[in-house]
């Protein structure tokens, strides 16, 4: 086994039928959360410009008094706060785990 994340590797093989490589393992273990955050912003870039914005670029329904096209922008702003909070907390936990590892070892 290249990867020490045995469970995730097996899951990956079960779901996608792809075996774990060193590269994918590294992503799963160390970069998964930041990668998801980058994916979120790429998705946002798609959904606030052409053509992703088009289906949501409408006046009705009004939400909180705002036309939907404007509310759509607000929604991404609020989602962004949650995404970066998630990344921040994940990084905190990871560096705390690393510190205790080095201290113990």
Partner 1 sequence: MERWVVVTIVTAGYLALSLLVGWISGRKASDTVTGYVAGDRGFGLLVMYFVTSAMMFSAFAFLGTPGWAYSRGGAAFYVLSYGLLGFAPWYFLGPMVARVGRAYGYVTQGELLSGRFQSTTLSVLIAVVSIIAFIPYIALQMKGAGIVFNAVTDGHVPIWLGALAAYGVVMLYVLKSGVLGVGWTNTFQGIFMLVIAWALGLWLPSHLYGGIGPMFERIAELRPELLTAPGLDASGAPWGWGAYSSAIIVSAIGVTMWPHLFMKGFAAKDDNTIKLTMVLYPTFLLFLLPLYFIAFAGVLFETKPPSADFILPHMILSTNIAPVVVGLFCAGALAASMSTGDAMLHAAASVYVQDMHRKVFDRKMSDHGRKRLIQVVAVIVGIAAYYIAVNTEMSLVALLLAAYGAVVQLAPITAAAFFWKRATARGAVAGLVLGSLVTLFLYQFPEYRPFGLHEGIVGLAVNCAALVAVSLASKPMAVEHVSSFLRTSRTET
Binding site for partner 1 (CB under 8 A): 34, 37, 41, 44-45, 48-51, 53, 57-60, 62, 64-67, 69-70, 73-74, 76-78, 80-81, 84-85, 87-88, 91, 95
Of the CA atoms within 13 Å of residue 27, those in its CB half-sphere come to: 10
Separation of alpha carbons 24 and 13, rounded Å = 12
Minimum Å distance from CB 90 to partner 1?
Answer: 11
Q: Which is nearer to partner 1, 2 or 63 (CB)?
A: 63
Separation of alpha carbons 15 and 24, rounded Å = 14
Q: Which is nearer to partner 1, 32 or 87 (CB)?
A: 87
Q: Which is nearer to partner 1, 27 or 74 (CB)?
A: 74
User: What is the secondary structure of 27-43 as a DSSP string?
Assistant: IIIIIHHHHHHHHHHHH
Minimum Å distance from CB 11 to partner 1?
Answer: 27
Residue 20's CB: how many other CB atoms inside 10 A? 19
């Amino acid at each position: 086994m290249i990867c020490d994340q045995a469970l995730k590797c097996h899951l990956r093989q079960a779901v996608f039928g792809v075996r774990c490589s060193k590269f994918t393992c590294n992503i799963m273990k160390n970069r998964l959360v930041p990668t998801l955050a980058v994916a979120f912003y790429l998705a946002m870039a798609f959904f606030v410009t052409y053509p992703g914005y088009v289906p949501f670029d409408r006046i009705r329904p009004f939400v909180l008094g705002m036309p939907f096209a404007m509310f759509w922008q607000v929604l991404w702003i609020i989602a962004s706060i949650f995404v970066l909070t998630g990344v921040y907390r994940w990084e905190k936990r990871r560096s705390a785990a690393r510190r205790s590892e080095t201290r113990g070892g």
